[in-house]
Amino acid sequence: MRIYQHWLNEAKQIPSPNFDDRPNADDISLLVIHCISLPPGEFDNTCIDKLFCNQLNPDDHPYFKEIHQLTVSSHLVIKRTGEILQYVPFDKRAWHAGQSSYEGRERCNDFSIGIELEGTETVPYTDAQYLELAAVVKTLLNTYPSLSTEWITGHSDIAPGRKTDPGESFDWEKFYCMLGK
């Protein structure tokens, strides 16, 4: 995998408006693993794209009435098939973490890259997702010198009590083994 001008070459680009400049463009030091499915528990549709691009129709599903006005986006989504979608270039601050803190640092969006796995906290992720996630993370580690395997965490760890993803279904041991750690 390669990154060119902060875009992953292997990813399908779907530019989101939900980002801004980082306070320190050189401070990319945390990877945050999330999960998402829209509607909840449903996969393989374009609803995540619509949410991240502010195009979610509140009339398409009852749940969308609650969330259609959110202005959020991660940097990447890895679909259950392993397809990678990129919404925000890595050097920009995507709006994925919300109110958050890691190792005493507040506002994790300022210094993190957010990666969403299409899934839920209770449904196992696919082998294709783990393979692509490991490949993406290795590429990010080789591209951004402030990143390390010690600073990879789940959304639940930076927003405890508020978020639960990627959940019990994410196999951290398998993931770290695939990274060679």
Catalytic residues: 116
Task: Indicate the pairing of strand 3-4 with strand 76-78.
Answer: unpaired
Tokens, residue 19? 């980002």
100-133: string of b/e by CB count within 10 Å (b at 16+)?
A: bebeeeeebbbbbbbbbbbbbbeeebbeebbebb
The label of the residue with tokens 């770290």 reads 176
